[in-house]
Amino acid sequence: MKLEGPAVRLTVMVGETDQWHHRPLYHEIVRRAREDGLAGATVLRGIEGYGASSRIHTARILSLSEDLPVAVIVVDTEERVRAFLPRLDELVTEGLVVLDPVEVIRYTGRGADDS
């Protein structure tokens, strides 16, 4: 797949302990993005944050949170990302979903014989 130039970044902010059928929600989002053929997805675990509830979640040792913020980031063409949004509707009942315009400079994968 070639991806270069104007694109869209989809960021889904959820909690680390959010579940979908007894599995991490972020895992299901990544699985569905791959299933739909999107260019790629990355999950980043935050060390501190808060959302609509205004409750601070932190990794600081004195307040061991078990529900740290997690960001799932997907970049692809606007058309492909927008077509994926309805699949998120049933998954993300709490959290934040945003789209940002981006410019892809380079998108390459490893060759079949690279390690």
Per-residue pLDDT tens over the stretch 3-59: 889 999 999 999 888 999 999 999 999 999 999 999 999 999 987 777 766 666 665
| Ranges of each domain in the chain | 1-68
Position 111 scores a pLDDT of: 63
Provide CB contacts within 8 A for 30, sequence distance 6+: 41, 43, 72
Q: CB–CB of 49/57 below 8 Å?
A: yes
Within 13 A of 69's CA, how many CA atoms are on the CB side?
20
**More confidently predicted of 46 and 67:** 46
Kindly report the pTM of this predicted structure: 0.82
- Residue 26: DSSP 8-state: H
Decide if pLDDT at 94 tops 70.
yes
- Tokens at 40, concatenated: 């790629």
- Cα separation values, 71 from 4, 5, 55, 81, Å: 23, 23, 17, 16
Residue-wise pLDDT for 70-91, tens only, equals 999 999 999 999 999 999 999 9
Amino acid occupying residue 2:
K
